[in-house]
Structure 1
């Protein structure tokens, strides 16, 4: 199953792959060169297909008391930080870095009402750069939940990511586990939780969207 955001790229990649695989048979006479080009083309097609995969991650027990991982990746930051855009106070930030081979679907980490949703154009620093959350292209979304209050998540573009897709609209009721957007070709997502939140993950832990419990209450 593939994400809808990859439809055009996948179709274009398939077309190019077919043209190259068939075309080299007529343009090149050396068998080993033909096979090499065809194999490389197929491998590149597989990379595109795996990047846009959207595995079914159904949630058995949706709960307002749990905050689930919004994306697949590795937990790279757990620390108190000052959040200047919306809260303008200290929050507990949990940051998940996605490599190009991770699933890049962003899912809602919790139920609630969207209170804030804003896109920021910006730079394309590597996603783990300390300034990435403030200077890179990004979207900021705040969801009000009956148990946790207001929780923010931020999609951040990386050096390869050139387009962030965000589905959250202010005033909309959203549900844990549903698609919240997509980040094309690598990046990270930061969660900003209330201070004192019981965090269930540790640094360098691998997280799975809709499966790993980031926090509970």
Structure 2
């Protein structure tokens, strides 16, 4: 199953590769060279198909938990000052996505969308310390009565040139539902209440819609 954001690109890529196959077959007589070129073209098609795959995820709905919005690796867990929406200290958990990860962004909690904003910006590498504030990005805040407010921010990387954000103000959203899509490698930051109990570790691989990032600390 492929994401709708990739349908056009997949079709154009397929047409391009078929055209290249026909040209290679008619213009190149050397068998080994034809074979190498065709293998490279097929490899390119497989990479495109893999990038836009959209596997189904089994999200166990729980208003006391925050789930990972994306597939990738945890690269930041720290207390920071969030200066766009909360304007106070929060726990930041960041997940870096490589080009081979699934790039669907999912809602970390269910509830009401109370903030959604797009920011144009730079294309620093996604792990750059200033990427969260200077790169092209979207910021979405979802609130529910149990957990409170959770902010997730899609951040474009050096290769990502388009962020798609489906979140609209006052939408009622489901935990694990599609929040957006980022094309070709990037990062997502989560900003959580300070009393949150973090359930992941640095460099841990996480799965969007399934891995529990944090849970409400009820002590």
TM-score normalised to structure 1 length: 0.98
Residue 53 of structure 2 corresponds to residue 53 of structure 1? yes
1:16 corresponding residue in structure 2: 16
1:120 corresponding residue in structure 2: 119
Native 8 Å contact 2:164 2:181 kept in 1 = yes
Native 8 Å contact 2:65 2:147 kept in 1 = no
Question: What are the residue-to-residue correspondences of 1:80-95 with 2, within 5 Å?
Answer: 80-95=79-94
Deviations 1:25-79 (A, max 9, x none): 10111111111111100000000000000001022x3111111000000000000
Q: Distance in 2 between matches of 1:196 and 1:62?
A: 21
Cα-Cα RMSD: 0.7
TM-score normalised to structure 2 length: 0.97
Question: What are the residue-to-residue correspondences of 1:122-201 with 2, within 5 Å?
Answer: 122-201=121-200
Q: Distance in 1 between matches of 2:150 and 2:175?
A: 13
Question: What are the residue-to-residue correspondences of 1:19-34 with 2, within 5 Å?
Answer: 19-34=19-34
Native 8 Å contact 2:74 2:94 kept in 1 = yes
Deviations 1:107-140 (A, max 9, x none): 1111110000000000000000000000000000
Deviations 1:168-195 (A, max 9, x none): 0000100011111100000000000011
Q: Number of residues paired by the alignment?
A: 216
